[in-house]
Structure 1
Amino acid sequence: MASSQKKKQKSGDFLIQGAILASAGMITRIIGIAYRVPLTYIVGDEGMGFYGYAFEVYSIALLLSSYSLPLAVSKLVSARMAKGEKRNAIRVFLCALVFACAVGLLISLIIGFGAGGISTYLMSAPFSRYALRVLAPGLFIVAIMGVIRGYFQGMGTMLPTAVSQIIEQIVNAIVSLMAASYLLKVGTAIAKARKNDLYGPAYAAAGGTLGTVVGAFGGLIFLVFVLACYRKTMKRQLRPDPIHEDESYETIVKIMLFTIAPVILSTAIYNISQVLDQLLFSHIMAAQGYAESKYVALLGIFTGKYNTLINVPLAMANALGASVIPSLTAAVSVGDREQIHKKIQLTIRFAMLVAIPSFMGYVVIASPIMQLLYGDARKTPAYMLTIGAITVVFYCLSTVSNAILQGLNRMTTPVKNAAMSLGIHIVALLIMMIFLKWNIYAIVVANIIFSLSMCILNARAIYQACGYRQEYEQTFIRPFLASAIMGIVTLLVHKLFDLIIGGRIATILAILIAITVYAVSVLKLKVLTEAEIRSMPKGTTILNLCKKAHLL
């Protein structure tokens, strides 16, 4: 009985850590939206286009220098802690830190000095070079930060990562707005002197990216402080271990590279798909006779408004993925098949509980959301969100299934699946851009095709890896029914309040009511079992409140 209780506690443990990280992720996404709204007003659609171009290149560079480090370090540390190899766990951390400093510095220098050539010849957007140069030092900072975050995640705590993310985003928001406002004036003055209006938004975009670098530095300072507080524990871990043999640093580097490489490749394909989208879009639109200001503005809407909203629910998927990898790795290390299946089921279930209602909400009130956040009543941004909303479900599912495969030690599988999906994606994009002339909507639909392909291929791979068969009713059908009820109520409530009050207040009230209706619908349709509610953070308290309210 005690063993069974312990297993249940362990199976829900990663959900609590995931919830901590997800909460931080949601807070940072909300802050991100909050500051992106005034930032978009300051820099304009052209500026957001340059901002988006720079960030796509930065994302690729970040991927090469540091993106895979938290995952690799957490995976390697958790595997050694599960076997009681505490000294080897700390050796992994120290080795990764040296690796991050070397690679992070190299990539920073390449991007910093090569920004002009990359912007002009690769991205066909020369004015994005200012933003890219500003972003370059952030690559070194984030590389070090990634290793420290990965170490704490491998030790089973997501709190340092969560708090550092919030600090990073708050600093980012403040500095971005201040720097964008100041540099817009500088750029406008230069634009008048050189008779080119694009200098204003280009300089403003560079100011917006400055917040990213300063914010990352703020997050790093906090993590170094936590690490200093944790130094006694780390000293104990470094004591000679007579039971377990020390791994050489050479061996650790080899294992780390073999762990990092597949993660880099699979995530690179995700990021490359976005860079290719922008490259193909820019060149094809230019060939079709559109002015640079026109297609850069469309990409500004895509990256600054549409993508920002699509990425908000992905915070939950990213957090669950980050928490399940060390947890799954530990279960695989000891061969606990029951725990493996339980963790996979809970990870996908909780990701869908957020993704499906988000998709429904975007479909039902796309235009009011765009007006609420950006004051944008144009049809194009609303249509993009309505059409692309389903991407939330597919990207959330593909994100957690990628993490599950990595936790199952199927490191190269997401790479193969992403490569196949990218091929399908590019063919579809070219057809829609050249023959159908769908404009910016071609990118939206191509992303749906890419993410759906990833979901199908990953589901098949998970079954082959551990024999897990996806359950559909509790994970997809019932949450969809609850979301449909929420969607109908939201639409009616918004129309009613729009007639009575109108404006943004009507949208805010509709969203608040939507959350309540969805929560009640989930409970009434028995989407979650009592055991699953109990495994959530403060689950017992939530369960008791639900019973008192006769919702169960």
Structure 2
Amino acid sequence: MSTSNILRGTLILTVGTMLSRVLGLVYIFPFHAMVGNDGGALYSYAYVIYSVFLSIATLGVPLAVSKFVAKYNALGEYSVGRKLFRSGIMIMSITGVVSFLTLFLLAPYLSPMIIKEGKHSYEDITFVVRMVSVALLVVPVMSLIRGFFQGYESMGPTAISQVVEQLVRIVFLLGSLYFILEVLNGDMTVAIGFATFAAFIGAIGGLVVLVWYWYSRKKNLDSMLEKDPETVELSYKNMYKELISYAMPFVFVGLAMPLYQLIDTFSFNDAMVLAGFTATYADTAFGIINTYGQKLIMIPITLATAFALSLLPAITKSFINGQHQSLQKQLSVTLQILLFLTVPACIGLSLLGGPAYAAFFSYDPLGGQLLTWYAPTAIPLAIFTVTASVLQGINRQKYTVVGLAIGLLLKLVLNYPLILLMGEEGSIVATAIGYTASVVINLWAIKKFTKFDYSMVLRRGFLMTIFNGIMIVAVLVVLQLLEGVVPYSEGRIQAIIVVAVSGLVGAGIYFLLSYRSNLLMYLFGNRFSFLNRQERG
């Protein structure tokens, strides 16, 4: 396939993934309006556990299968990829059924480990976990088909199925919530159960799209198969051994956030009760952090990492071809762009925690307070995501796994004592410490295996720190001036005004300073020509 087609396919997949993520963010606002913090907590209890089971059930299949199929297609051995596809469908079906039955049967035993009965009962948790577990019957098979198409460098089926899956899920989720709560005046637990069941309905929608693509392209795929020289004989044992070697790093990186949330799922409420808080308060705080706060901090992470990750194919190519100087420049620009976009966005979200939470959801002092604490954790999370991808690009994935394991161990060890010491903010601090440890290990591994010099990143990072400091002062001044004029506690419109005015002032000052100092030109000048400016004497 030509380079232009590969780039087109990558663009299609990137746009599809971004659109799917945006949809996954937008629905949370009407969701919160209908179910509030209590419903959000109940939803999160089920979805965090489901996410972990899903990652285990799919075993990193989409990217691993795509890498495996692409390798043998490049050799003209199309039958090897087809052999994997046929057996993989059966294996993914089995893992899906096993995962579904395991989660369904374990639900009553997991419930007492998650909460002390208060606002929600053990039966409530059991019900919503069982409702979401049904999706495990479909998603693993869907993941394998997506990976197969990607191995043929055909990104359209994955992109379109992702968007359809998300759209169908959201329509069913919001529709069922409205019907149960508003029309039937039904029970919150039943409504949340159907909201989690939407994962299954969405997966069916995505699978239908993929099946349609399969039958519409089968003739062309079969014609490739006929040209296969069949010179490679690969046993099932060796085939899956190779596939697993590709898959394991993807499994661990994909599990990063769900595992951090899983630790909170099984320890947060218990630690909060031990710290002297009521079970109801703990339940509310958990929902704010792991459902609503998590969605908001994903905004800067998604935007920044999407831009930085777009440079990774070039990094991989430079590393493979031994182009050391080019590799150093690409790594430096990637990390600088990541810091340039992520740090001010996360700091701004933290400074505007109260009004931002009120603007997106509703006025809630606890929600604003926790968002202020939680937003900065997006910085190490974004750096971890990008550095993990760099290590995959240079074939040093095992250090990502080691770093993640150490970070999770720190989170596990520190979660209880920090919650006992600080309350609900302790959980956030433990998460930040864990991610930071993982980032340090990733950065060390990159330096060790690429001989990367961080001096330019540090120098530019220091300049960005100064600009961020000036931005912080400006935003705090604007917030102080607006406090008596537009009190954000009085309504969503007022909160939106406060966020918009403060955000525009902060972003404007940050970008003006970056432009005047030529930082924007150094980072983006070759992409956006209007940012280039002549030095003035």
Output one character per residue of 1:163-195: Cα deviation in whole Å (capped at 9) or x when no partner.
Answer: 433333333322212212333469975xxxxxx
Structure 1 residue runs without a partner (length 5+): 1-5, 190-199
Shift of the 498–283 alpha-carbon distance from structure 1 to 2, 3 Å rule, reads closer
Q: Distance in 2 between matches of 1:327 and 1:249?
A: 34
Shift of the 98–358 alpha-carbon distance from structure 1 to 2, 3 Å rule, reads farther
- In the other structure, the counterpart of 1:259 is 246
Contact 2:289 2:374 in 1 (8 A): no
Output one character per residue of 1:226-273: Cα deviation in whole Å (capped at 9) or x when no partner.
Answer: 444444553344234449635444322111123323443454465333
Shift of the 133–311 alpha-carbon distance from structure 1 to 2, 3 Å rule, reads same
- 2:391 aligned partner, one-letter code: L
Shift of the 140–269 alpha-carbon distance from structure 1 to 2, 3 Å rule, reads same
Q: Distance in 2 between matches of 1:21 and 1:490?
A: 37
- In the other structure, the counterpart of 1:460 is 444
Q: Say yes or no: does 1:115 pair with 2:107.
A: yes
Contact 2:336 2:457 in 1 (8 A): no
1:58 equivalent among 36, 39, 50: 50
- In the other structure, the counterpart of 1:205 is 192
2:168 equivalent among 165, 171, 174: 171
- In the other structure, the counterpart of 1:143 is 140
What percent identity do the matched residue pairs reach?
A: 23
Greater shift after overlay, 77-86 or 146-155?
A: 77-86
Shift of the 345–243 alpha-carbon distance from structure 1 to 2, 3 Å rule, reads farther
Q: Say yes or no: does 1:276 pair with 2:276.
A: no
Contact 2:384 2:438 in 1 (8 A): yes
Q: Distance in 2 between matches of 1:93 and 1:531?
A: 43
Alignment of 1:37-56 (within 5 A): 37-56=29-48
Q: Distance in 2 between matches of 1:18 and 1:350?
A: 20
Contact 2:44 2:290 in 1 (8 A): yes
Output one character per residue of 1:431-486: Cα deviation in whole Å (capped at 9) or x when no partner.
Answer: 2123x2x1110111111101111110111112223333444157634555555555
- In the other structure, the counterpart of 1:292 is 279
Shift of the 261–161 alpha-carbon distance from structure 1 to 2, 3 Å rule, reads same
Equivalenced residue count is 521
TM superposition shift of 1:318:
6.3
Contact 1:387 1:444 in 2 (8 A): yes
- In the other structure, the counterpart of 2:178 is 181
Output one character per residue of 1:65-120: Cα deviation in whole Å (capped at 9) or x when no partner.
Answer: 12612232233344445666655455555554443222123212322343223223
Contact 1:47 1:205 in 2 (8 A): yes
Q: Say yes or no: does 1:472 pair with 2:457.
A: yes
Greater shift after overlay, 79-88 or 289-298?
A: 79-88
Contact 1:313 1:392 in 2 (8 A): yes
Contact 2:518 2:533 in 1 (8 A): no
- 2:361 aligned partner, one-letter code: Y
1:104 equivalent among 93, 96, 108: 96
Greater relative contact order structure (CA < 8 Å, 6+ sep): 1
Shift of the 149–463 alpha-carbon distance from structure 1 to 2, 3 Å rule, reads farther
TM superposition shift of 1:323:
6.5
- In the other structure, the counterpart of 1:446 is 430
TM superposition shift of 1:491:
4.9
RMSD: 3.8
Q: Distance in 2 between matches of 1:157 and 1:518?
A: 40
SS at match of 2:39: helix
- 2:141 aligned partner, one-letter code: I
Q: Distance in 2 between matches of 1:279 and 1:524?
A: 50
Q: Distance in 2 between matches of 1:220 and 1:111?
A: 22
Q: Distance in 2 between matches of 1:484 and 1:67?
A: 43
1:238 equivalent among 225, 229, 235: 225
TM superposition shift of 1:201:
3.1
Q: Say yes or no: does 1:388 pair with 2:395.
A: no
- 2:240 aligned partner, one-letter code: V
SS at match of 1:412: helix
Alignment of 1:4-153 (within 5 A): 23-66=15-58, 68-80=60-72, 88-89=80-81, 91-121=83-113, 126=122, 127-153=124-150
Q: Distance in 2 between matches of 1:174 and 1:75?
A: 33
Q: Distance in 2 between matches of 1:47 and 1:119?
A: 16
SS at match of 1:409: coil
Q: Distance in 1 between matches of 2:462 and 2:133?
A: 45
Contact 2:521 2:532 in 1 (8 A): no
Shift of the 511–75 alpha-carbon distance from structure 1 to 2, 3 Å rule, reads farther
TM superposition shift of 1:63:
1.0
Q: Distance in 2 between matches of 1:102 and 1:67?
A: 13
Shift of the 546–328 alpha-carbon distance from structure 1 to 2, 3 Å rule, reads closer
SS at match of 2:27: helix
TM-score normalised by length of structure 1: 0.80
Contact 1:149 1:160 in 2 (8 A): yes
Q: Distance in 1 between matches of 2:256 and 2:515?
A: 38
- In the other structure, the counterpart of 1:410 is 396
- 2:50 aligned partner, one-letter code: Y
Shift of the 316–103 alpha-carbon distance from structure 1 to 2, 3 Å rule, reads farther
- In the other structure, the counterpart of 1:3 is none
Q: Distance in 1 between matches of 2:311 and 2:39?
A: 38
Greater shift after overlay, 61-70 or 323-332?
A: 323-332
TM-score normalised by length of structure 2: 0.82
- In the other structure, the counterpart of 1:397 is 383
Q: Distance in 2 between matches of 1:323 and 1:219?
A: 25
Q: Distance in 2 between matches of 1:21 and 1:476?
A: 31
Q: Distance in 2 between matches of 1:321 and 1:148?
A: 28
Contact 2:353 2:371 in 1 (8 A): yes
Q: Distance in 1 between matches of 2:411 and 2:380?
A: 14
Greater shift after overlay, 93-102 or 481-490?
A: 481-490
Greater shift after overlay, 269-278 or 135-144?
A: 269-278
Q: Distance in 2 between matches of 1:67 and 1:348?
A: 29
Q: Distance in 1 between matches of 2:439 and 2:146?
A: 28
Q: Say yes or no: does 1:375 pair with 2:359.
A: no
SS at match of 1:376: coil
SS at match of 2:349: helix
Output one character per residue of 1:180-213: Cα deviation in whole Å (capped at 9) or x when no partner.
Answer: 2333469975xxxxxxxxxx33223213213333
TM superposition shift of 1:139:
2.0
Q: Distance in 2 between matches of 1:390 and 1:484?
A: 15
Shift of the 395–79 alpha-carbon distance from structure 1 to 2, 3 Å rule, reads farther
TM superposition shift of 1:141:
2.4
Structure 2 residue runs without a partner (length 5+): 488-493
Shift of the 498–105 alpha-carbon distance from structure 1 to 2, 3 Å rule, reads same
Greater shift after overlay, 124-133 or 470-479?
A: 470-479
Shift of the 83–402 alpha-carbon distance from structure 1 to 2, 3 Å rule, reads farther
- 2:238 aligned partner, one-letter code: T
